[in-house]
Amino acid sequence: METTSLAPGLPHLMAAAAGVLLIFGLWTPIAGTAIALVELWKFLAHSGNPLIAIMLLSLGATVAMIGPGVWSIDAQLYGRKHIEPSRQ
């Protein structure tokens, strides 16, 4: 009897779910973090081209830090956060 494991498909499932969230602009920081973690996982597992994994890891981390855009669901629900530098 064969046993199948969910572990090999888990990164792809996480990336697909995060991609759908990013398309709709929902939970943007969580989706960006998930993409960064999946790409870190792929980089450490030595699967595929490591340069692509590093690039997508940095893009996922950037999306997580920047947050939602103007037309995203996050911006409509929670508003956009603007950081103004303090003038001393």
The per-residue pLDDT for 5 is 59
Which of 47, 51, 56 minimizes the C-alpha distance to 19? 56
* pLDDT score of 58: 96
Residues 6+ apart with CB under 8 A from 20: none
**pLDDT tens digit sequence for 10-56:** 888 998 999 999 999 899 999 999 999 999 998 998 877 899 999 99
3-state DSSP percent of the chain in helix, strand and coil, to 5: 60, 0, 40
* pLDDT tens-digit series, residues 58-70: 999 999 998 888 8
**Would the pLDDT of 75 be above 80?**
yes
Distances (CA, A) of 74 to 15, 27, 31: 19, 6, 12
